[in-house]
Structure 1
Amino acid sequence: MMPGRKPLLEIVGLRTQFFLHEGVVTALDGIDFTVYEKESVGIVGETGCGKSMTAFSILRLVPGPGKITAGNIFFMEPQDVRQRRMQLEIEAQEWYRRSSLVEKKKLVALYDYRDTGRKKKAKKLTPAQIDKIVPPDRVPTGVTRYYLAQNAKTMPASDKVGRAAALFSFDLLTRTDDQMRSIRGKSISMIFQDPATALDPVFTVAYQLGEVISLHQGIYDRAVLDKKIEEVLKLVRIAAPVNVMKQYPHELSGGMKQRVMIALALSCSPSLLIADEPTTALDVTIQAQILNLLRDLMRTTGSSMMLITHNLGVVAEVCDRICVMYAGRIVEEAETFELFANPRHPYTAGLLAAFPKLGERKDELSVIRGTVPNLMRPFQGCAFVERCEKATEVCGEDMPRRVEISPGHFVSCHLWTGKEGPNVR
């Protein structure tokens, strides 16, 4: 956590899997990151690395046969509740470490965040194997939940902060479907990749905006609603809002459709805006306009933004901080300038080396050899090992830990494990 800044969204050990006939695909494999208030965070990586699935998991819109199998998504958690929860989690870690080998086998069998449900296999595990599945510096998510739930039973009803912390009351994964429907659009909004398919072709812009505003703000008077819609369209710099209100999506250009999508997302003043490839299929000039609009709107409204893209130029332009994803894991996280100036993970360095630079002459662009691994195939170590030019034997055997190598700069790589890392998660 960055000192002096208040977390808005905190993701801990999030794991999302798809259970197919051919096997299990692990789309997200224990990711951790935080979005602070009034901050723009970029999520970058190759197609299929889990960027969009991160957004769908936050909104609990993972399509079947997908399922969130582990982790926590804390949203708008008060500071006193967060501090109490972290204190209880430390107590849970100590309790787990004091547990006997037999108890650990049972706990791993029931709650292991990487191998859930394989009870028979867990009974045969050795202490070394248990430490590989659940490293000593990290307790299985379910074990923590179990310990905290037991503590909540003994807390007095007057201890509202303690009970909220122990029961993970601000974890989106504990919310009911009705509660999530209220959160989506009002507290967390999303701009989808393709406005042509996200907008309903049979309804006017006014109808679609009015539906969202009526649902979340309870405004049903037609005159009041039309005025509110006009204000929202002006906010996204649509020159003739009254005319656009009467139009259908097919009557709008690509840039105008995207502006309407942004208006839909911001119509209820959300605390967090998730923008999934907001400049896809737009020409360069319109892309620049949309990016400038998003940046200005974040400053004006005070909302936080999570920007998902594969374009490094986009995040450099808009974001305060960047998370680099690879094969369902976040391999590096840092402030934008720091990441571009000092990439520490070989994958990040490869991405930046492949990015063309003005004034630099090359016969050919750099490439990252090989292909992304099959996410249906389980791997113990680093997912990048087969493509990494700096890989060693340990890279294929053990999953690298998340290490803070400088303030706010995290990396998951054996090249940095144990080096300058005061904070290991």
Structure 2
Amino acid sequence: MAKTTGIMAGWLIVSANEAKKGHGFVIENGKIVEIVPNEKLMGKEGVIDAREHIVCPTFACTHTHMYETIAHGAVEPNLSLKPLLEDFWWPVVENRQTLETIRITSEYASLEHLKTGVTLINDILEAPFAEAGKRLLTEEKVLRKAGIKGVLSLESNERISTENGEVNLKENQDFILAMRETGSRDIRGTICTHTTFSCSVPFLMKAAGMARDMDEYIQIHMNEGPDEDKCCFDQYGMTTAELYKKIGFWEGGKAWANQCSCMEPVELNIMGTLGVGISTQPRSNALCNAGIAPVSDMLKNGINVGLGTDNGEGNFFENMRYLALMQMGKNYTKYALTPLQAFEIATEMGPKGLGFTDVGALRPGYSADFQILTGSAAIYLREENVVQEVFWRKEPEDIKEVYVNGELVARDGRAIHLDETRIRQEFKDCVRDFWKGQPYQLAD
């Protein structure tokens, strides 16, 4: 395959707030080095001709669980988060994960991510009884082959035992070091723990201390619905964020919180002041009885917000629209979260909050991570509306090609480096076998 040296675009979306007609860019060593008029690229070897198309940044899914795709066909109990975890998810799903299910679901989720223009993921693996030391490396191998960038971590808590939680923390630590030895930041690890109701304060402090010592991110699940804040207040007499502040959990400046669908104003103020980023999952939160995150208030507090799916798959264009529309409805104004803001969250703001400073836009110095979309539109495209056209009307079917670091990784909805036929059959068989005989399986 010829090396890509640049692209000519009909419309080039540089970022949520900048679009150029008839421009493209030059690529060197996987990076964008210059934005130029198409005329300067004509006839150059390795230049893609996308002058009939829209070229825009790829998406970042800032919170997902690839293994959760195995929940296909399961009927979850209608419970709030804490009892749902205790009665169903922990014993029936998490505890039964193996290296084989991790591999198969990671491959399937990679197909689904590329199909919808996602090339960076922040994945939390929850598999406390799968073989220690190999869990994150299994996911990493799949992402490397697919060409997807990622932040990978293993959820570490004390719901089984303190010893089990510490084993998981150690695997995060070892994975961080192993990824640093590769010399690339395309895939890296974080220290990851869970919640204030599944971890003691000493355990949380130990996890945060490990992250600070390694100058790496600490990430958690937080306030996914009202259960955690209530549990935290009942036990400690304060909100979740107030407890984290009191114990110094977020000291160090590298922190990420996932979910945050039920937040008190004081919590957003604390997190904005301490520089804690947040990933919101609007579709998943609605499906899990967890409410609607106050994203517009997060932005007002200066918080870097990212967009996730939670379940390892999903139409990311649709997810962006859910994000904006739910904020409009929640706040009774269509200006609560504009399409441009939602697009920025889905492309550049989320990665920035996770420490990726060269992902999510198509500026000089950024990685050449881009998608080529059909250029057809029902309206007359201008610089002022082309991003909104992508936001409101494009779908995964409109993606012609996807590139990471200037390398083609997907075309017409199919991954270039993965055996899609094998993976989809293995996944189907895996789901059938995993749920066979379980009371939560839909009848045939």
* Fold shared by both chains (TM-score > 0.5): no
Normalising by the smaller structure, the TM-score range is: 0.3 to 0.5
TM-score (norm 2): 0.32
Q: Which has the larger radius of gyration?
A: 1
